[in-house]
Copies of this chain bind each other. A is one copy, B any other.
Amino acid sequence: MTQSILIEPAFDRLLQVAVEVFAECGFREATVREICSRANVNVASINYYFRSKEALYAQALAFAFQEANRLYPLDAVLDKGLPPEQRLTLFIGNFLHKLLDDSHLGLYSKLIAREIADPTKALDEIIETAIIPQFSLLTEIIQQILGAAADKMIVKRCLLSIFGQCLMFKHSRSIIDRLYPELIANDPAIQACAEHIAQFSLAGLTRFAQPQKRPIP
């Protein structure tokens, strides 16, 4: 059988298909036979190229994160010259689009969200490489807004408030799709949600902001 269409080697095809299937079904529900079938390779190939289903999953997870970062760079957010309010708005917009994108790239965040909601052994690496950098970046922005003297616990809670608003759209997608589909119907609607979260959060942050001009007596 000649398959002139697919010129990619089996290894790459397996990795790409694995991201798709694991994102759709989760680690446990995904079957090696389904992955191999979609990748047009023999069932034994996974154990040949990767050591096991588990090892394939770990590699797929790392690959997904790498791709998500490549397709959604945080360049503007990293610019410390910008005012923190603007950086927060950019951060939220970037994050939400990353989460809600329904094209191929949406799979990456879906895979990661799945791992967070239902952790496997692979979670530890995900936290180190994917979560902590995002948390650090947002922490820095929040601290700039609240003031350097801000209580550490308050900063953490504000961080969770902001991430929580964004992740709601990912974790409770099934409900939003049924009750409020118009909120995420198209790209402008998603952009409106991002702006809402930014404004809601900025107003919320002011509640906890330190007085900026006065030095501590």
Q: How many copies of the chain does the oligomer comprise?
A: 2
A172 to B123, CA, bound (A): 12
Please tell me if the beta carbons of B165 and A116 are within 8 angstroms of each other in the complex: no
Instruction: Kindly state whether residue A196 has any CB partner on chain B within 8 Å.
Output: yes
A178 to B174, CA, bound (A): 27
Q: How large is the interface on A (under 10, 10 to 19, 20 to 34, 35 or more residues)?
A: 35 or more
Q: Known interface pairs A119-B174, A174-B116. Does A156 touch B183 (Cβ–Cβ under 8 Å)?
A: yes
Q: Which residue of chain B has its CB nearest to the CB of A159?
A: B180
Binds B, one of A49-57, A71-79, A197-205: A197-205
What 1/0 mask marks residues of chain A from 101 to 123 whose CB sits below 8 Å from any chain B CB?
00000000000001011110001
Instruction: Kindly state whether residue A65 has any CB partner on chain B within 8 Å.
Output: no
A205 to B207, CA, bound (A): 12
A164 to chain B, nearest CB (A): 3
Q: Which residues of A contact B (CB under 8 A)?
A: 26, 28-29, 114, 116-119, 123, 127, 131-132, 135, 153-154, 156-158, 160-161, 163-169, 171-172, 174-176, 178-180, 182-183, 192-193, 196-197, 199-208
